[in-house]
Structure 1
Amino acid sequence: MLSIACNILVHGTLLHQWGFSYCKPPKKEPRKNPELVKKWKKERLPNLLKTAKKEGRKVYYGDEASFFVTPKLQKCFLPQANPFPVEIWSKSFEHIFVCAAISSEGDFTYTTSKHPYKGDDIVSYLEQLLAAEPDPITLI
């Protein structure tokens, strides 16, 4: 094992001289299909909004998401031209799970969990949303 005592400010310089380069993980979610998202926004969303307006419904935009509780790796040094070695979208990190909806008027409701949402959890959240909103809604 190699051990060198030096000031923390020169680590990057030394690693670069030895053929390593500064790397950041990819920021885009690899499972998202931008073409399908664009098509949905152009074709399906306007029809949903038009129908909701015609029927006098309040529009809510809802989603289920998870957030890392543990810090994720932000940067590292790798031999030049090597891909980032850590699977950023790993399921091994601890998460907080959130189910939330926001209306076009700014009304916001959410619930959190320490485990992924399953069907019964989603139904429970939707019941909570419907109980809180007196008007008919369209959930997108």
Structure 2
Amino acid sequence: MHHVRLLVNMLQNDYYVDEQGLKDAVRRGLPYNVIFLNTMMKIDLMPLKRRPFTREEERRAQTQILESGTRALRIATAEDAVLTKLEWFQMGGRSSSRQWNDILGMLKQQGTYLDLPYLTHWADSLGIKDLLEKALHDAGLQ
């Protein structure tokens, strides 16, 4: 848990982060939310898994600065965020309307900018192709 303390130290000036909550999420392998204090934007921190998709997701992540004077963060691409949300939705029994609405919102916002072959390839590999197809349909992209 030494890494959690380091992360909290790095984030605590610009983000609301609860160290104990983050430790619990890391122990359980679950995502954790921090809040960017300047804008109150919620940011999902996701534990990395040891698998090909995660390695590709990390390779494609983009370094961004949310606001001048703050630390740069590695941000997942829209495609990878959609795939991860679809996995969470599936793990949650396919019942969370909040997750589903997040997915549809991301798809609608990105629209034609999405790399559909990439999404389809990884959705098939991750066993969520049916969910991706439904999401694309519900978002009006198919």
Superposition TM-score tier, normalisation by shorter sequence: under 0.3
| TM-score (ref. length: structure 1) | 0.26
More helix by share: 2
More strand by share: 1
Q: Which has the higher contact order (CA 8 A, sep 6+)?
A: 1
Larger Rg: 1
| TM-score (ref. length: structure 2) | 0.26
